[in-house]
Every structure is written in C-alpha cells, then in structure tokens.
Amino acid sequence: MTDIHRYDEIINLPRHISEKHPPLGKDSYAAQFSPFESLTGYEDVVEEAARTTDNMVCLDEDEKIRISEILTEILKHSDDKPEVTITYFIADNIKEGGKFAAVTGTVKRYIESEHRIIMDDGTIIATEDITDIKCDLF
C-alpha cells in the first residue's frame, strides 16, 4: 500500500459523535484556542516595581516643638472647631517608604494615650507621622 491510499478505507466514514459527552458549545470550543498567559501576575509585579514611594522626612527638634505647640493650641480651642490642614506620612505596606497626604477639616478628638488625632471625616493620624500643621487661628 502506498502513502497516497493510506486512509482510503476510513475517509468516507461518518464522524463519531459521543453518546456520553455532549459536544462543546461555541464559547467553550473557542476558549480552548484562547491565548495562554504563562506568566500569570507578571504585569502586577512589573507595575508594583515601577510604583515609586517617598521617604519619611525626619524633622529636627525645632520643627517637632513647633508642631506640638500648634497642636496644643488647636486642642485648647477645640470648642471653636478651627479648620486645620495636617500633612502627614503614610507608610507603604509593601515597599519601603510611603506617601504624604494632607487632610483639611476639624480635629474631632485627640487620644493622648495612643498619640492619635481623629479628624471630623474619620481620618486617624499618628502624631509622630505629622510633618506640618496649618491652622486658620495662627
């Protein structure tokens, strides 16, 4: 038998259709030919590596004292609800460093034992993370 006539005996037979397994729908059939992403999560890793963070600013003693004095005055006048803008550092959970954020509003509460300020919008700020305070009283 030559290679040309190798499949002559089966070429005109009907296609087998399984009685146990139903044929795939068009969507399922097409899905088996969809591209394969061999490096799952690679894009996320590259994006995370490209994300930049800021370094925490170390304040000198004079600046720390100035912030402490302003905070004390704000707390003394808390009944007047002075508007303050607090710039503070938020440490990044994944990478070294973090980012600076600013919140404007009124101080709702100061928890001395935890050294935390709670703003009227619910923002909680650790006093050691504060880098600047501006207040309309001063």
pLDDT band, residue 65 (cuts 50/70/90): very high
pLDDT band, residue 57 (cuts 50/70/90): confident
Pair (74, 131) in one structural domain: yes
CB count, 10 Å around CB of 25? 9
pTM of the entire structure? 0.65
Token reading at 116: 């935390």
Q: Order of strands, edge to edge, in the sheet holding 98-105? A: 98-105, 84-91, 130-135
Pair (43, 101) in one structural domain: no
- For residue 37, what pLDDT is reported? 67
Which CATH number do you get for residue 96?
2.30.30
Per-residue pLDDT tens for 19-45?
898 887 777 777 777 676 677 788 888
- For residue 88, what pLDDT is reported? 94
Token reading at 133: 């305070």
Decide: helix, strand or coil at residue 37: coil
Place of tokens 């720390």: 64
- For residue 12, what pLDDT is reported? 87
| Residues 130, 67 contacting (CB under 8 angstroms) | yes
Pair (73, 122) in one structural domain: yes
